[in-house]
Amino acid sequence: MYDRLSVRGLDEKESEKIIEDLRFGIPPSGYIKMFTVGRESNLKELAQTLEASVTGKDNAWLVKASYGSGKSHMLKLIAEIAGKNQYVTSLVTVNSQEGVRFNRMDQILGAVTRCLVVPGQETLGIRSLFTVFENNLENGDTVTLEKIRQITKLDNWDDLNNNSLRSTAIRIALLVWIKIRKNKIKELDRMILEIESVLEDWLNYPENYRGRRKELYSQLIKQIDEDSSLENIFTESQREWRFYADDVFTFTANRYQQSWDALNDLNEIAKLSGYKGVILLFDEFEDVIHNLNRKDLQQQAFMNLFKFFNFQYIGKSYFAVTPEFERRCKAELNSRGVYTFEFSQFDELNTFQLEPIRHNDLIELAKNIRRTHGQAYNWDAEKQFDDKTLVEFVDELFKNKTPDMTRISITDIVRELDSEIPR
């Protein structure tokens, strides 16, 4: 599944985009494999995790590396490889201060839907996944088409809970999307766009709709049922109170169970759309240590982490952490007076530890950057900044043994190449 690619053959525009990312130490989106060096055993192990069936305990992994030494790069590499192998991916940065708190699964669900990357689609988010599903309603094998038929057939309230999808919210959202987009009446375009906007905003920020069930019912159900030009969500009219009584619009009920159900439904919808599933990737996961300011919230965040490793989410997931993650979690809880937590669960989490970048790896990386820089700015970088000069420069960089040596080295190499361009 993993193969290295050459930077040769990139055009000037592609090369310049890559260098602009590298100048700020950012992994270049779409070209991460080209600038991944060394770590052969890690890459083989990574390929195995992507290729393996989701069985046993092989569905979630901690990706360990020191700050600045490749965690984010590796997550983006996983996403890039997975996307090219027909997985839908969502890379979420956990950030309690910006409303992505891991003790709140409705916030995690919203972040996942906002960040969905669907192969072959240019835009991010739930819109792209629903659009592919809609476009593939008539495709697939017999089993797939039967599952799709069960999802899209909704005669009465009992059909809403027929186990074709786990989350009633996601099923209603998907049905609304399909029903309104079947309509081709130009006069209704504005109303359809408004409904799409409400639907997307609800799934992207479900935490903002906790007290707005009536508004969602009016805009997503009632408005459609009352318009004779649109096909009703249900074949038979349904009473409004049923939507509230069954928590159709609520992702926080039953300890966020519908948020978990919705994550699993996204995975199922991706499969029914012709993909292999949804892979979730969580960067900066140690935010749960640094920025959750109450011990009960931290404990809930850790329990949610354990649920990913215990198949509460049936797809695959990866979490970027530092090598001391488990020890630091235990120490944090102990410092807050928590002694009865299930600490042993930290020791049971699947892990792969990133190898450090070696001297020769850094030379290889510098040569890739040099070649791309020359292509970006149309100069003979290999002649003006020859191998001897490059190796001497890398030798000096390699003396910096700080955890973020790789990131600093990349930005320094680009800066040095900028200064060498003939004026």
SS3 annotation, the chain: CCCCCCCCCCCHHHHHHHHHHHHCCCCCCCCHHHHCCCCHHHHHHHHHHHHCCCCCCCCEEEEECCCCCCHHHHHHHHHHHHHHCCCEEEEEECEHHHCECCCCHHHHHHHHHHCEECCCCCCCCHHHHHHHHHHCCCCCCHHHHHHHHHHHCCCCHHHHCCCCCCCHHHHHHHHHHHHHHCCCCHHHHHHHHHHHHHHHHHHHCHHHHCCCHHHHHHHHHHHHHCCCCCCCCCCCCCCHHHHHHCCCCCCCHHHHHHHHHHHHHHHHHHHHCCCCCEEEEEECCCHHHHCCCCHHHHHHHHHHHHHHHCCCCCCEEEEEECCCHHHHHHHHHHHCCCCCCCHHHHHHCCEEECCCCCHHHHHHHHHHHHHHHHHHHCCCHHHHCCHHHHHHHHHHHHCCCCCCHHHHHHHHHHHHHHHHCCC
CA distance 311 to 4: 32
So what's the pLDDT on residue 2?
A: 39
Tokens of 57: 């305990």
- Radius of gyration of the chain from its Cα atoms, rounded to whole angstroms: 24
Query: Is 390 within 8 Å of 366 (Cβ atoms)?
Result: yes
* Alpha-carbon gap, residue 78 to 316, rounded angstroms: 11
Which pLDDT belongs to residue 4?
44
Q: Where are the domains of the chain?
A: 6-29+357-423, 39-119+275-353, 138-256
pTM value is 0.85
Locus of tokens 């193969």: 3
Q: How far apart are CA 268 and CA 150, in angstroms?
A: 13
> Do the Cβ atoms of 393 and 366 come closer than 8 Å?
yes
Residue 252: what pLDDT? 94
Positive or negative CA dihedral for 224, 227, 232, 234?
positive
**pLDDT tens digit at each of 423 positions of the chain:** 434 445 556 889 999 999 999 998 887 877 887 787 766 777 777 777 777 666 556 789 999 876 656 788 888 888 988 998 899 999 999 999 999 999 999 999 999 999 999 999 989 999 999 999 988 887 777 888 888 888 888 777 877 777 789 999 999 999 899 888 776 555 567 788 888 999 999 999 999 999 999 999 999 888 877 776 667 777 666 688 888 988 999 999 889 999 999 999 999 999 999 999 999 999 999 999 999 989 999 999 999 999 999 999 999 999 999 889 999 999 999 999 999 999 999 999 998 887 777 889 889 899 999 999 999 999 999 999 999 999 999 999 888 777 677 888 899 999 999 999 987
Sheet holding 351-353, edge to edge: 116-117, 88-93, 278-283, 316-321, 60-64, 351-353
Q: Classify residue 386 as exposed, middle or buried by CB count within 10 Å of its CB (0-12, 13-18, 19+).
A: exposed
| C-alpha to C-alpha distance for 410 and 356, rounded to whole angstroms | 15
In 3D space, the residue among 96, 121, 73 whose CA is nearest the CA of residue 406 turns out to be 73
The architecture (CATH level 2) of 39-119+275-353 comes to 3-Layer(aba) Sandwich (3.40)
Look at residues 24, 26, 41 and name the one whose alpha carbon lies nearest to residue 358: 41
What pLDDT, on the 0 to 100 scale, is given for residue 9? 64
Phi, psi of 137 (to 5 degrees): -60, -25
Determine contact, residues 3/46, Cβ cutoff 8 Å.
no
Distance CA 171, CA 397 (A): 54
- CB under 8 A, 24+ apart: contacts of 52-57: 54/277, 54/314, 54/315, 54/316, 57/309, 57/348, 57/350
Quick check: 353 and 64 in contact, CB under 8 A?
A: yes
CA 57 – CA 69 distance, rounded (Å)? 27
